[in-house]
């Protein structure tokens, strides 16, 4: 009898765990949480797409007016600083980012934190073909703070941490 009671309590806790994992401070329903999570993941994908396709001038649009981007080359704050940081990237540089293992934690109605891993393959050829020699060029993590800006989500901060970084000659 006692065993059945423990089993019942254990099953109840097991079945209720996903509800508790939703983040008790979130004002969102389950469906709204998915929308926020997808919007924040899409934001990171758009960043990678702009880099990969050489649309560096669009990257600052993904950041809050006073947002920051940080890598081993420094920290840049504000859209103008971020624009300057990415304007030095060669126009013919093309890359392929693989971004995975997104962990989105909604902190409040206006803030979400995202952690993800990335691998970058790069080419400077106009054809966009990537030689596997000396690839990948970078492996690491992104640590993002995303904030709500009206009906969309943008970066308040993006920090890139490389765990492997191959310098091109």
The confidence score (pLDDT) of residue 19 equals 35
The confidence score (pLDDT) of residue 25 equals 54
The confidence score (pLDDT) of residue 28 equals 77
Residue 44 and residue 114 in contact, taking contact as beta carbons nearer than 8 Å: yes
Domain boundaries 26-165, corresponding CATH code: 3.10.450.50
Contacts of 131 (CB under 8 A, 6+ apart): 123
The confidence score (pLDDT) of residue 57 equals 93
Residue 156 and residue 64 in contact, taking contact as beta carbons nearer than 8 Å: yes
Q: What tokens does 32 get?
A: 């709204």
With vertex at residue 85, the alpha carbon angle to CA 78 and CA 123, rounded to the nearest 5 degrees, is 140
Which pTM value belongs to this model?
0.78
pLDDT tens, N- to C-terminus, the chain (169 residues)? 433 433 343 333 334 333 333 444 556 788 999 999 999 999 999 999 999 888 999 999 999 999 999 998 899 999 999 999 998 887 777 888 999 999 999 999 899 999 999 999 887 666 666 677 778 889 999 999 999 999 999 999 999 999 988 764 4
The confidence score (pLDDT) of residue 3 equals 38
CA distance 54 to 93: 7
The confidence score (pLDDT) of residue 124 equals 65
């Amino acid at each position: 009898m006692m065993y059945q009671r423990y089993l019942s309590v254990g099953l109840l806790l097991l079945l209720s765990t996903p509800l508790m994992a939703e983040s008790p401070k979130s004002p969102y329903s389950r469906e709204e949480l998915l929308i926020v999570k997808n919007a924040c993941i899409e934001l990171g994908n758009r960043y990678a797409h702009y880099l990969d396709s050489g649309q560096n001038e669009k990257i600052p649009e993904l950041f809050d007016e006073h947002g920051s981007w940080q890598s081993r080359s420094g920290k840049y704050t504000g859209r103008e600083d971020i624009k300057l940081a990415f304007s030095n990237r060669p126009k013919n540089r093309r890359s392929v980012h693989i971004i995975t293992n997104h962990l989105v934690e909604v902190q409040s109605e206006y803030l979400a934190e995202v952690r993800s891993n990335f691998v970058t393959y790069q080419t400077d050829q106009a054809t966009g073909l990537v030689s596997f020699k000396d690839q990948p060029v970078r492996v690491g993590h992104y640590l993002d703070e995303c904030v709500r800006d009206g009906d969309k989500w943008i970066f308040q901060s993006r920090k890139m941490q490389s765990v492997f970084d191959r310098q091109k000659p």
